[in-house]
Amino acid sequence: MRYLPHTPEDISAMLQAIGVKSLEDLFPTVPYDCRRTGDLKLPEALTEWELNKHIDKLSNTMAVSPEFRVFLGAGSYDHYIPASVSYLLSRSEFVTSYTPYQPEISQGTLQAIFEYQTLTARLLGMDVANASQYDGASSIAEALLMAVRITRQKKVAVSRLIHPNYRQVIETYFAPTDCEIIELPYTEAGITDLSKINDLENLAAVAVQSPNFFGCIEDLQSSAKKAHDKKALSVVGFTEPLAYGMYKNPGSFDADIACGEGQSLGIPRTFGGPALGMFAAKQKYVRNIPGRLVGQTADVEGRRGFVLTLATREQHIRREKATSNICTNHSLCALAASIYMASVGGSGFKELARLNYDKCEYLKDQLRKAGYSLPFSQSTFNELVVQFPEGFETTYQDLLKKRIIAGLPLECYYPELANHYLLCVTETMAKEDIDTLVKEIVT
């Protein structure tokens, strides 16, 4: 739709209707010295075709252009997206910001959410899934708050190998509460050290991420047992759900809540957003799940229909009774994930997961042959940590000039891991690109 600005006559009529003389009179609360008094220094207007050409030129200068070899993951992953996803997602029935506050007139929207919930529950091995949330970080923070509500305890044990940004969000969520966050360290193998749990009392939840931030697969069976022995909930987070096409899902290990990021499922990276928060739990906790759930039913004539079964949000119920006051669902992103999972299918999901695993193992082998240390022995998926020699920062910058991004430096997140880098490969990375990375590092 073309942008049609208001005419001066339109503006004058609207100002007169509300009883003010000028646009400035609409902003009396903004201090005068904080206002812009002159015009913006904007370039001359371009035609539509000139603007398209200008944008294309700018895009060719971006660091994510096709010429770059990007070995970055850390919670955001580059995967091929079937054409069916973008095609179906662009249909006018779906491209809408409509929120089903009046669900009886939005059967298509409700069915799309219902299918997403079904596929999510199957993928994670859980009984019930909600309609989605903002992103993986808010999902795991909401899961821990949910555990506090259920157990009525005030301590949560959080693995240090949960994504650092997620842990920051957890701290923000818990800051206004009287709950205590206890950090669990990691072992030499690259997984969470659960021994500290033995000394904890009044525990609401034990939260781990698998694959964790180092790409390592956690011992979910032990973490669930440790949690349940303390009468706490087992919370399993994730940033790469594709891993469950190869490794057992959280439900297989008796997790109470499984939650994380769904960006890998048909959603492009797009400079960091939007994302998709996936959230699933056991049936007995359904009334404590944040957000909303869609259910299937039948009308008085026996016809299949969909309803907003639970909506424990402040827009639907009294604010003090809401499970969360800042949660919603990303319907379009959830639909993208649904179409992706349905397009790839169960067998395709497994094949794709295996391909990601194999490429990561190939990179491991090549790095070992080149003489580099891989400090963590635990099995990985998609990502790995490698220790480079001192002074690698110079090599890293040289590789950037050659349009190669050699992973994520970990020292800013884990000060003890100086010269350690987190590298990621997915099915989009060709063998030649992996060989080029290793060759450039060695030389």
**Predicted confidence (pLDDT) at residue 387 exceeds the cutoff of 80:** yes
pLDDT at 98: 56
pLDDT-based confidence at residue 102 (cuts at 50, 70, 90): low
pLDDT-based confidence at residue 1 (cuts at 50, 70, 90): very low
Least confident of 143-152, 188-197, 261-270, 318-327: 318-327
Q: How far is CA 374 from the centre of its chain?
A: 27
Least confident of 13-22, 205-214, 230-239: 13-22
pLDDT at 93: 75
Nearest-10 crossing angle of helices 164-174, 136-151: 40
3-state percent helix, strand, coil for the chain, nearest multiple of 5? 40, 15, 40
pLDDT at 185: 97
Asked if 383 contacts 73 with a C-beta cutoff of 8 angstroms, the reply is yes
pLDDT-based confidence at residue 292 (cuts at 50, 70, 90): confident
Give backbone dihedrals phi and psi of 229, rounded to 5 degrees, phi first: -65, -30
CA distance 394 to 211: 30
Please give the residue that has the higher pLDDT: either 357 or 326. Answer: 357
Q: What is the CATH number of domain 83-341?
A: 3.40.640.10
pLDDT at 148: 97
Yes or no: domain 69-81+345-442 corresponds to CATH 3.40.50.150: no
**Predicted confidence (pLDDT) at residue 317 exceeds the cutoff of 80:** no
pLDDT at 436: 95
Give backbone dihedrals phi and psi of 182, rounded to 5 degrees, phi first: -110, 125
CA distance 385 to 49: 46
Is cis: bond before 274, omega within 30 of 0?
yes
pLDDT at 136: 95
For 223-262, what is each residue's pLDDT tens digit?
A: 999 999 999 999 999 999 999 999 999 999 999 999 999 9
pLDDT-based confidence at residue 274 (cuts at 50, 70, 90): confident
Share of the chain above pLDDT 90, in %: 71
Q: What is the CA radius of gyration of the chain?
A: 25
Q: Which residues are registered as beta bridge partners of 159?
A: 184
**Predicted confidence (pLDDT) at residue 352 exceeds the cutoff of 90:** yes
CA distance 191 to 211: 9
Pick from 182, 184, 183: nearest CA to 194: 184
Mean pLDDT of the chain: 91
223: which DSSP letter? H
Mean pLDDT of all residues in 128-133: 94
pLDDT-based confidence at residue 330 (cuts at 50, 70, 90): confident
pLDDT-based confidence at residue 284 (cuts at 50, 70, 90): very high
CA distance 310 to 211: 31
Per-domain residue ranges of the chain: 69-81+345-442, 83-341
**Predicted confidence (pLDDT) at residue 65 exceeds the cutoff of 70:** no
- Token pair, residue 380, equals 């990985």
